[in-house]
Amino acid sequence: MKRFLIAAALLGTACNGTAAAEPASEDAQAAAAARTTPAARATWVEAATIEPSSASLHLTLPGEVEGSRDAWLASSQGGYVEAVEVEVGQKVEQGDLLFRIDRGLYQARLAQVQAEVKAARREVNRAKKAGNAIAAVELDQAHDRLVAAQASARVAEIQASRALIRAPFDGALAAVELEKGEVASPGSPAARLVVLDPVKVTISVADRDVGLLKVGTEVKVGVDALAEPRVGEIARILPAADIDTRTFMVEIEVPNEDRGLLPGMIARVEVEQSLEQDSLLVPQGFLVTKRDANGVFVVEDGVARWRPLDLGPLVRDQVVIDGGLSVGDNIVVVGQRALADGDAVILSRQGTCCANGRPQFGAGQGT
C-alpha cells in the first residue's frame, strides 16, 4: 500500500509539470542563443582598425663641428725655414704666401741646371753645323745630354716652387707650427688651414634611420655657446657604415658668417624627416612572417583572414604599408601568431591603429 501511494504521487507531479510547460517564445530563444558559449576552436584576440597617419622621423643626436674644409699644410721636401709670413687666426686667400723653406738652395740648383741646358743646346747646334759622320754621332749624344738637362731643369723648377708654401684655398689659420730659423723635416706640419663659413657638423646615424634621411633636408644645430640653434641642411650621407661603430656618417652644412660655430665644438642636432601625409603605418611587431611574405591577419565576419602586404620604409619600430591594407581594415594586434587563415576569432578588445606606434583602445580597455 505504501509503495502504491509513493508511485501515485510521483506520477501526479510529472503530469502537472508537463501540463504547465509551454513552448518558449522567439525572444527567449534568441536570448538563450546569445548566452551560448562560443565553440572551443575560436581564438581570443585583440584587434585595431587601421587609420591614416602622418609618418615622421625625429632624431636628436650629438655631433661635432668641423671646418667645411680642413687641411694640414706641409713642405714636401723640408729644409731651412727662411720666412714665416702669417700668424695664427689670420685670414688668407687662395695663393697667399705662407712660408719660404730653403728657397735659396732650390733657386741655386735651378740656376745650375738651366746653365747645363744652355751648354747642351750649344753642343747640339755645333754638331748640326759639322755635317760629317762623326758629327752625327756627336749630335745624338749632344741631343741626349740636352734632354737630360731639360728634365733636371724641370725637377729643379718644381722643387723651387714647392719651397714656397701657399694657401690652397680661402680660410683661416687655426695653427702655425713653424718658426723662422727652424729646419723642417719633409712632410712635417707647417700650418692648419680651415674654412669657417660654412662649417660642417658630422653625426652618426643608426642603420634603421639612415634610409629615411635625404640630402637637402633642413636640420637644427645648437651648441652651448649660442642661445639659439642654427638651421643647416644635410649635405652628404656616406654610403658605407663605419666598421667600428656600424653607424653611418652624415655631414650637415651650416652657415657661420659670424663664426659662432668653431671646429671642435659639440653640437646637438635635431633631425625631423617627414614622409608622405596620410600614410598607413603598422608596428613591426604586428606583422606575421611566412616563408614567402610578410602580412597581417584581418578580422572579417568573425574570421581571421591572412593578408600579405607590400612593405615600404621603416620609421623606427613601424613600417609604412605600400599595399595590401586599406583604411578601415581591422587587423589582429594580439594573438596573431597563433592564427591560421580561416580561424574563428573572438574579440576581447577593439581599438584603432596606430597613433604614436601603439594601438588605442576605448575607455576601460587600456592602451
pLDDT tens column, 50-64: 988 766 778 889 999
Does residue 168 share a domain with residue 154? yes
Lookup result for grid cell 748640326: 128
Quote the pLDDT of residue 160: 76
Q: Classify residue 29: in a domain, yes or no.
A: no
Q: Classify residue 21: in a domain, yes or no.
A: no
Quote the pLDDT of residue 13: 45
Coil, helix or strand for 125? helix
Rounded to the nearest 10 degrees, how much is the dihedral formed by the CA atoms of 36, 38, 39, 42? 180
pLDDT tens, residue by residue, 200-247? 999 999 887 887 788 998 999 999 989 899 999 999 999 999 899 899
Distance, in Å, from the CA atom of 177 to the CA atom of 76, rounded to the nearest integer, reads: 15
Quote the pLDDT of residue 136: 66
Distance, in Å, from the CA atom of 124 to the CA atom of 143, rounded to the nearest integer, reads: 6
Q: Which residues of the chain have pLDDT under 50?
A: 1-22, 34, 37, 39-40, 364
Quote the pLDDT of residue 208: 79
Domain containing 332 equals 43-55+278-361
Q: Classify residue 268: in a domain, yes or no.
A: yes
Quote the pLDDT of residue 20: 42
Rounded to the nearest 10 degrees, how much is the dihedral formed by the CA atoms of 15, 17, 22, 27? -160
Does residue 211 share a domain with residue 64? yes
Strand-pairing partners, residue 323, are 310
Quote the pLDDT of residue 188: 86
Distance, in Å, from the CA atom of 348 to the CA atom of 367, rounded to the nearest integer, reads: 13
Distance, in Å, from the CA atom of 215 to the CA atom of 273, rounded to the nearest integer, reads: 11
Distance, in Å, from the CA atom of 166 to the CA atom of 171, rounded to the nearest integer, reads: 12
Question: Distance between alpha carbon 60 and the CA centroid of its chain, in Å?
Answer: 13
Residue finishing a domain among 259, 274, 289: 274
